[in-house]
Every structure is written in structure tokens, then in C-alpha cells.
Structure 1
Amino acid sequence: MRVQMLGLCRFSYVGLRGFQIDHASYEERRALLYDPARLRRRWLWFSEVALPAWRAQTDPDFTLVVMTGPDLPEPWLSRLKALSAEIPQLRLALVPPMKWHLPACRAAIAPHVDPRADVIGHFRHDDDDAVAIDYIASARADFGHVEALWRAEGRLALDHSRGLMLRLQEGGVQLTPRICHNMGVALTVFLRPEAQESALNYDHSKIGLWMPGVAITRPLMFIRSIHADSDSGSMGQGVPWPVEPAELDDLLWQRFRLRREGLEQLGRALA
């Protein structure tokens, strides 16, 4: 069975709806998203937290569509173009501002649907979060264990729910181990290839309304960043899982290709 893994990452896309922070006009939204200091912060999150593990995926057979507007200011637009040329799995989608968010997301994703696929594993990825280096491999393999459940309904949510909540604080890094279900990051929505929906069509916090779900609670699979620029600054419900501080530092590298020292440097740069 051919399983395509297809993701969408929105990078300061100037569209209305689809976000917890809403605006009445494109001008208001553009003023927030294109603020030079904010764009600099978002780029640091994206390049220093999100990208290392995408570069190091143990299964390179995936597509991550980075969606932004054609008027994204420089140098950020040129940097995204350079990344899409450098990293084979990245595709840059320049989508003009649209009133309705879901059609905009569909416009970004549709050209990259593989017509040979039997099933598509859709995922969303925020530009300040990270998935583990084996997320693609694990999602594809774990789907094989629950394929029959997907066949019964044509929809299935596979939730890799063991993660770390990341806060950068003055003088250090706070990492909170949590098992949180359906956070959005490392959540794969398996759909038939002819479906017009993607992961963005379903509110991840209520995804059980539309499809069955399976939670995979180990190994550690995601980092979710919480900071002032987050669309949602809440840690959400969850349960802690035990880990020693020294082991946690090792896991940062083993699972995400991140170092605590690098995160501390990022915190100083963002400050």
C-alpha cells in the first residue's frame, strides 16, 4: 500500500479565519504578521527548532508544503525559496490572501497530492514546533497496525502524544514532559486520496467528532513551543511523564537534533 505523508506549515500567511487571533481586514492581519521584529522571531523558531528534525528524518519520503503569501517581505521570502531548493521535501506555496482559510490551505496542498497513493497521511506543522526525526517513519509504520480501522471509515487520526512543552525563559530553558492528546503536532489524519479535506479541516481538539483515533504514547515524538507569539499560549490538558534532567538533554539531540545550549542561545536571540 502506498502511503503518502503530506504536511502543511503556514509561515505568516495573511489570510482571514482559521486562527484563534482574528482580524477584520487583510491590512490588520498583514500589519501583525509582517511586523519586522515578529518575522525575525518566527524565522528563528522555524530555522532553529522546526527544521533540524525535518532535515534529519529517517524516512525521507514525505512532502512538507510551506504556505505563505507572495508579498512576504524580504529577506524572508528569498530564504524560504532557498530552503525549498535545498531541502527536497519542502515545497513553497505562495497563496494570495483569501477570506476563507480552508480553501487557501487546499490551494496550497492540492498540487502535491500523489495520484499513485492509496492513502494520504495529512499533518499540520506550526513553524515553531518540532517532530522527532522518526515521525514520518513511525506514522507510516503505525498506520500499518490500524489500517483495518481506517478502511472501515476512510478517516483515521493517529496521535503520537508524548511530547515536551518548551518555554524559553530569561537565563534558561523550561522543558515540561507531557502526554497530551491531539495537540495538533505529530497528529496524522489519514484520508483517501480523493478526499478534498486535509488535517486543517478538522479541529484537532475535537477530532473525535469526525473520525476514530488511536493514541501512540511512546516514544517521545514532539516539542510544542509556547511563547508570546503563539496563536494559542496554553499548555493544554495532559499528564506528566518522568524523565531525569540529564536524560532529557540527551533526548533533545537523539530525537530532535537540538541541544540545550542552542535553545538557550535562541532564547537570548529572541529576547
Structure 2
Amino acid sequence: MADHIKTIGVMRFSVLTPTYYSERFDSLDKIAAHLFSPERMALRFHIFERLVLPSLLAQTDPEFDLVVLTADRLPREHRDRLAALLAPAPHIHLRPVGTEKHYQLLKQGYESVDPGGATHRLMFRLDDDDAVDLNYIKRLRALGAGLHRLHPGDVPTVIAFNRGFYVRITEGENEVFDACERAPLSTGTALLAPVDYPRNPYRYNHRALAQHYNTYSDITEPAFIRTIHGDNKSSPTQMGRTHKMRPKAIDKQLKRHFGIDRDHLMAL
């Protein structure tokens, strides 16, 4: 029987767990107060609705499943709003979860999608405040198939997309700039492995994935738009080449690969 690869992504949207944000807050109630605060929810929905979700709904290849994990304690008004946003896309699944350990919830997210007759899973990760280019899934699936044929046996392999754009959201004027990173980002990084492989791309810090897996870095096209704002979980440090493109060139690339223009990001 020929091998078949199933493409599955997991995204966190305000997941409540004692092992995430624990370095900042010393109780689950304090974490919840931060996650579900009106100001944070407004920011998260603003970016999700205007940047993240449109990039997923407009994928040229819809052959993927995405699980959006959220807390079962997410206030009803926010859960209903999120569910309504995802309703037009049957391949994007909202999964309210409890307060188990962070990584266990992520594992459950990937495992909640039936692989059918697939022999391998191509598991990607994406944050709820970052976007991918319109051909991301098409390119990811092609790379996954090619790398699977390249390696003898079942060698778990990471695929990273290290070229794209950042948007620094500020009180004044946003900054939009190009980047080509030298280590895997969180945005769109994927792990190709047999269906029974127990780990996923959240298992290790994304910057260190090449220490644990054969890693393929694709910089042929800009693949990500990563946002920098006051509620980033970690410091979005750039590790590589940045600020090499002029605004007009950035605008051209954004229109071609993301279907938006620079003004859209400047007003985000």
C-alpha cells in the first residue's frame, strides 16, 4: 500500500493551563484573568479576524485540518464569536479543552483529527496572531511528499519557513519589515512523521528543532507575517537578515503572496 500523508495543524487561542504563563502568574485564576481580560480579547480577535483567519480561508490548497484549541472556561460571548468565525470552514475545528498540562493538550489536539488511512502526519503549528502565505499548504504538502521520498525509512523531519515579514504594532505608526531567519520560527513550522509517532512540533522550542530533527528550511518565497505587540507570549527576536527591502518591494510581495497590501498591515 502506498504511503499517504495527512496534513494537520494546531493553533492555541487562549488555552488555560497551569503549565503555560506560569512564569508570569502563580495561580490558574490569575492566568485566566490575564487571558480573558477585555483588553487582551479585543487585541486577539482584532488580529485574528483581520490577518490570521483570512490567510487560512484563502489557502489555494484546502486539503488540511486545523484544530483551534481554546479554554472551556473562555467566556461564552468569546467562544460564540470564535465559533461563528470558524463556521464557514468545516476543515477548521474549534476544540474547547480543560486545564491539563500544556503539552498534553497540544498532543490531544493533533490526535483529535482522524488520520483516516494515512500512514504519516504532516503536523504544523501556528499562533493565533500570525499569518501564512496563500500557497502555504500547497507548498508544505509538496515539500512533505518530496522529503518523505528522500529519506529511507521513517525519519521524522521538520519543515521550516524562514522568510517573511514582521509587523510591529505600536501606539503610533506600525512598522512593517522583511526578515529571513536562520532558525525555525513558530509560524508554520511542521513535523513530518509516521501516524504513530508520539511527538509534534510543539515538543521542543522551535529555535532548537534542528538539534532534534533533520530540518529543511524553505526561503524560496515569503511564507509568514508575524506580529509584534504588547501581548506576545515570548520576545519575538529576529535572528537573521532584516530590513533589506524597500516599502514598495514589500507591498508588491504582500499583494502577490498574501493578498493584502502594506497599508493593511500599517493599519492593523
Common fold by TM > 0.5: yes
- Residues of 1 paired with 2:151 and 2:26: CA distance? 39
Which residue number corresponds to residue 178 of structure 1? 179
Contact 2:133/2:222 (CA < 8 Å) preserved in 1? Answer: yes
Which residue number corresponds to residue 220 of structure 1? 222
Which residue number corresponds to residue 128 of structure 2? 127
Contact 2:86/2:94 (CA < 8 Å) preserved in 1? Answer: yes
Question: TM-score, structure 2 length as denominator?
Answer: 0.92
- Residues of 1 paired with 2:110 and 2:64: CA distance? 13
- Residues of 2 paired with 1:141 and 1:121: CA distance? 11
Which residue number corresponds to residue 230 of structure 1? 232
- Shifted more, 14-23 versus 165-174: the winner is 14-23
Which residue number corresponds to residue 111 of structure 2? 110
Which residue number corresponds to residue 58 of structure 2? 56
Per-residue CA distance 1:163-190 (angstroms, 9 max, x = gap): 1121123443312211112011121111
Contact 1:65/1:108 (CA < 8 Å) preserved in 2? Answer: yes
Letter in 2 for 1:30: A
Contact 2:176/2:262 (CA < 8 Å) preserved in 1? Answer: no
Q: Percent identity?
A: 26
The answer for unaligned runs of 5 or more in structure 2 is none
SS of structure 2 residue aligned to 1:201: coil
> Which ranges of 4 or more aligned residues in structure 1 deviate by more than 6 Å?
none
Given the alignment, which residue of 252, 255, 258 partners 2:254? 252
Contact 1:166/1:226 (CA < 8 Å) preserved in 2? Answer: yes
179 and 38 in structure 1: CA distance in 2 versus 1, 3 angstrom threshold: same
Contact 1:115/1:193 (CA < 8 Å) preserved in 2? Answer: no
SS of structure 1 residue aligned to 2:32: helix
- Residues of 2 paired with 1:151 and 1:166: CA distance? 40
SS of structure 2 residue aligned to 1:164: strand
SS of structure 2 residue aligned to 1:263: helix
Cα offset, 1:66, TM superposition: 0.5
Which residue number corresponds to residue 46 of structure 2? 44
Cα offset, 1:40, TM superposition: 0.8
Which residue number corresponds to residue 157 of structure 1? 158
Which residue number corresponds to residue 143 of structure 2? 142
Cα offset, 1:47, TM superposition: 0.9
Letter in 1 for 2:137: I
Question: TM-score, structure 1 length as denominator?
Answer: 0.91
Contact 2:166/2:227 (CA < 8 Å) preserved in 1? Answer: yes
Contact 1:56/1:133 (CA < 8 Å) preserved in 2? Answer: yes
Which residue number corresponds to residue 269 of structure 1? none
- Shifted more, 244-253 versus 64-73: the winner is 244-253
Cα offset, 1:153, TM superposition: 4.7
- Residues of 1 paired with 2:196 and 2:113: CA distance? 13
Contact 2:6/2:64 (CA < 8 Å) preserved in 1? Answer: yes
- Residues of 2 paired with 1:62 and 1:133: CA distance? 13
Letter in 1 for 2:175: Q
Cα offset, 1:124, TM superposition: 1.1
- 1 or 2, which has the higher helix percentage? 1
Per-residue CA distance 1:193-251 (angstroms, 9 max, x = gap): 11222221122111122211111111111111111100112323111374332121122
